[in-house]
Structure 1
Amino acid sequence: MTTRPNELQRTERRALLIGKWSNLFMAFAGVTAALLSRSDAMLVDGLYSLVNFLSAIAATRIGARVGAPATRSRPWGHDFDEALYVTFRSLILIGVLVFALILSGIKIFTFFTGGTVPELVFGPIAVYAVVIVVICVALAINYQIAYRRSGKRSAILKTESRAAMIDGALSLGSGAVLLSLPYLQQTPLAPYVPIGDAVLVIVLVLLIIWQPLGSFRTTLADLAGVSAPSKTVSAVARASRALAREKGFKFHRAAVLQAGRMHFAGVYIDPQRPVEAREIDTFQETLAARLEDLIGPTRVEVVMTAKTGPLPPDPRE
């Protein structure tokens, strides 16, 4: 089932609108809980939600532009904006997590050098953790439903769904560990209870930071013009070869890039006979329609050439 651009935009807009205001509430709740409880973990959670709120605003605007027709200033359209969004969002999240790491490191250093570390107040933590986990689970479900309705083609919805699940896991893990700290008072770990909050933040950062690092690496490859996965390239080549055969053209090869939900396919053919430009336009439009049903929205460029043979391999391979 193919999801048309306008329908995809409406699906994204509805999901992101809910996410935007939910994350604003969670950001306010997180900062408030941090001030009342003196917990760095709650502060990090609140900042994470604030990033999600700001990202939802940007994502709504970007989602409305993706798939728009090319213009003089943007001859390839705005499709790479989606990959840029995911890239910079990942960088911001990495920055927030590194900030949390530094903050926790300072608290631990202060503790071991004889400084004063504020005691935690556990009441606000319990209330905050329960409320935020419920909201995050609901948001993750909302984004996942929207992502499936988009035909699993929206990198924005996929990213936001993961962010909501991470935020919920962060809140659940933070709340559970922090509320268990008082039970350590009768154990050999009692002297280290004051820095339990900081140790928790470090552990959570080390567990979570791989997700934005992975997203950053993937979208950076898209922006660098790295070829789409071999499965996608093979699908484009098969469809192009079949259509070329129908039209009596000789198919040479296909090159495919991907940026978010959009694919860019360069198809190299030799008509082997005189053709009108209109016939090539029809070939391009027909192939684009077939590829949309096959791999998703695709911008197709047809190159007529007598040169044969595949591209040379990467010298590093």
Structure 2
Amino acid sequence: MPAKSQEKFEQKALQYGIIANAFMAGYGLWASVASNSSVVLFDSLYSTVMLCSILVGKSISRNASRPRDRSYPYGYGGQEAVYVMFRCLVLAGVLGFGIFNAVYTIWSYIDGDVPPALELGQILPYTIIMTIICGLLWMNYRSNWIKLGRQSLILRNEMQNVVADGAYTVVTGIALLASPLLQITPLAVISPIFDSILLIICSVVIGKDAIQGFIFNLWQVSGGTSDLANDKSLEQQVEGICSNHAMALQNLLITQLGRSVLIVAYCNAEHAIQPSQIDNTRHAINQALQSELQNPNVASEVILTSEPVFVSST
């Protein structure tokens, strides 16, 4: 798909995300005040983080589809990975803030300060409306992600975010609606701080995903090998192309930054070759793997060497 078409689909999907998250952030803030719930307030803050990340993501989307140049010789796709890392760090900060306030509320309760009672009248309609919006957003992101050949890290990230947001809303909504039942159990003593305990549990679960996302993209940014390197069919394709151009593949290096994929083929020439043969080999690898991966942001380099660059450990 042409770069302009990619950008068009992404921008449209993200625009819907901006509108939806702006509504969810505002609605969540109102519902948190009406219900005295820190859990609902955090849901509003989560939507606010997603709103801000999408605004940044729209700018990144316009750059990510640009062809590589002297400023970014490996392509602009790396900005996607940096964007996801930044979003994970911001979310971690929000999670830390939520946990701190929840711990403070629990400590104050132990010290004799009883927090305001929950008002559950708005929780059910809030849970239903937010869940429906998250479901529609997921469909929006996924349909456009598939149209883009499943290559857009921005849409994949937002799709995962909206699933986490929807799951958080459903779980916390059900838990809050069921919280009055604590009064008839031995756990009645924690009923006044159930909201804070629930916030800590959910923050830890969401924080795990945020940390995993940060580590994954840190691996990409630091130059780690892409998972595509484990695909033997890609290696066989490159090996066959090199063989057709009188070169033997010694090693294959695949790295990835966002949607940009860099393939470096280390080859040993069977005899003296012309520079044009290297160019032809590189072009053939580009065309074959762009088609195979359905990703126009695949670039390759062919480097001549007399021996393997990477030695497998035994």
TM-score relative to the length of structure 1: 0.91
Aligned to 2:218: 220
- Out of 106, 109, 114, the position equivalent to 1:111 is 109
Question: How do 1:242-261 residues align onto structure 2 when only pairs under 5 Å count?
Answer: 242-261=240-259
Report deviation, 1:282.
2.3
What amino acid is the match of 1:50? T
Report deviation, 1:129.
1.6
Q: Secondary structure at the match of 2:125?
A: helix
1:62 is the counterpart of 2:57:
no
Aligned length: 312
Can you list the C-alpha shifts for 1:98-139, whole angstroms capped at 9, x where unaligned?
Answer: 221111111111101101311122123233222111101111
1:22 is the counterpart of 2:15:
no
- Out of 252, 262, 265, the position equivalent to 1:264 is 262
CA distance, structure 2, for counterparts of residue 96 and residue 235 of structure 1: 43
- Cα RMSD, aligned residues only: 2.0
CA distance, structure 1, for counterparts of residue 233 and residue 100 of structure 2: 47
Distance 1:313 1:247, change over 3 A: closer
Aligned to 1:47: 45
Aligned to 1:90: 88
* Aligned partners of 1:228 and 1:256 also within 8 Å: yes
Distance 1:44 1:91, change over 3 A: same
Report deviation, 1:44.
0.5
What amino acid is the match of 2:302? V
What amino acid is the match of 2:237? A
Aligned to 1:171: 169
Aligned to 2:182: 184
* Aligned partners of 1:125 and 1:179 also within 8 Å: yes
CA distance, structure 2, for counterparts of residue 193 and residue 114 of structure 1: 14
What amino acid is the match of 1:308? E
Q: Which moved more, 1:206-215 or 1:67-76?
A: 67-76
Report deviation, 1:288.
0.5
CA distance, structure 1, for counterparts of residue 70 and residue 10 of structure 2: 27
What amino acid is the match of 1:78? Y
Q: Secondary structure at the match of 1:170?
A: helix
CA distance, structure 2, for counterparts of residue 6 and residue 271 of structure 1: 39
* Aligned partners of 1:253 and 1:268 also within 8 Å: yes
Aligned to 1:309: 308
Can you list the C-alpha shifts for 1:138-177, whole angstroms capped at 9, x where unaligned?
Answer: 1112212222222221121111111101111111112111
* Aligned partners of 2:77 and 2:260 also within 8 Å: yes
What amino acid is the match of 2:303? V
Distance 1:313 1:283, change over 3 A: closer
CA distance, structure 1, for counterparts of residue 172 and residue 228 of structure 2: 41
* Aligned partners of 1:69 and 1:77 also within 8 Å: yes
* Aligned partners of 1:236 and 1:254 also within 8 Å: no
Structure 2: gaps of 5 or more residues: none
Identity in percent: 28
CA distance, structure 2, for counterparts of residue 161 and residue 108 of structure 1: 34
* Aligned partners of 2:130 and 2:169 also within 8 Å: yes
CA distance, structure 2, for counterparts of residue 172 and residue 237 of structure 1: 44
- Out of 70, 79, 92, the position equivalent to 1:81 is 79
Q: Secondary structure at the match of 1:77?
A: coil
CA distance, structure 2, for counterparts of residue 72 and residue 226 of structure 1: 22
TM-score relative to the length of structure 2: 0.92
* Aligned partners of 1:233 and 1:256 also within 8 Å: no
Q: Secondary structure at the match of 2:301?
A: strand
CA distance, structure 1, for counterparts of residue 235 and residue 41 of structure 2: 50
CA distance, structure 1, for counterparts of residue 145 and residue 230 of structure 2: 20
